[in-house]
Structure 1
Amino acid sequence: MAKKTSKKDLRNYLDFIPVHHEQYSYTVSDNGAVTVYVENKGVFNKIAQVVFKKPRISQIHLDEMGNFIWPLMDGKNTVYDIAEQVKAHFGEKAEPLYNRLVQYMRNLESYGFIRFKE
């Protein structure tokens, strides 16, 4: 039985241009580590903040490859351009490059950290 593919699956992510979402602020430390700040909103988060002493703003620390990729998502570079720079910087350590990078971009998009210009 053939697998059904949606239009979303048929999009070519390599042609997309990722851009940081304006809703989230971030900082880049001197050593290049990126931290994205997410405000915890909503009733349940307010309760958790009071009862469990959870922070109002969560800090998301990116991994080594994420730290390299984040500044490249400036609204000018396509995913393909970013992939080429990742390949030049990390070499074999980044393989399987395209599958890994596209999945990473999908994850960032699903969390709302980035959006794509097509």
Structure 2
Amino acid sequence: MEEYLNLVPVRNEKVELRKVEGKYYLLIPMDSKLDFLARKLHGDYRRIELDEIGAYTWELCDGRRTVREIGKALRARFGDEVEPLYERLVTFLIELGKRYLVEFKRTDEIV
């Protein structure tokens, strides 16, 4: 857990956050040749629904803030609603990383 707090999550630039009918979605382009059938059935994007905390977290993953700084911003905005803060935050970011929606950089790798 501790090893993640000083990492900087960077969003995948191809992924877009959009609010549709009061719900937040990450729109992930289906641009692989293997996605042709899925595109015909579902359109050009895969969608992942996020709650307000997830959407705000996504916006904070700007490539400048560390996980620790993102946690502080979440606590300031949502208070106890985000507890246990760092356990939830790191788990969420790891899941985004598994789907190639964010990547982690060390602070010395940031330009």
Q: Residue 109 of structure 1 aligns to a residue in which SS?
A: helix
The one-letter code of the counterpart of 1:21 is N
Cα deviation, residue 21, structure 1: 1.4
Q: Does 1:16 align with 2:7?
A: yes
Counting aligned pairs with the same residue, the percent is: 31
Q: Aligned match of 2:87 in 95, 99, 112?
A: 99
Unaligned runs of 5+ in 1: 1-8
Q: Does 1:108 align with 2:99?
A: no
Higher mean C-alpha displacement, 79-88 vs 59-68: 59-68
Cα deviation, residue 33, structure 1: 6.0
CA distance in 1, matches of 2:17, 2:94: 22
CA distance in 2, matches of 1:42, 1:60: 21
Matches within 5 A, 1:53-64: 53-64=41-52
Matches within 5 A, 1:29-68: 29=19, 34-40=24-30, 41-43=32-34, 45-50=35-40, 53-68=41-56
TM (normalized to structure 2)?
Answer: 0.78
Unaligned runs of 5+ in 2: 107-111
Structure of greater Rg: 1
Cα deviation, residue 70, structure 1: 1.2
Superposed CA RMSD in Å reads: 2.6
Give 1 or 2: higher strand fraction.
2
TM (normalized to structure 1)?
Answer: 0.74
After superposition, the C-alpha distances for 1:68-93 in whole angstroms (9 at most, x for unaligned) are 11111111110000001111111111
CA distance in 2, matches of 1:98, 1:38: 26
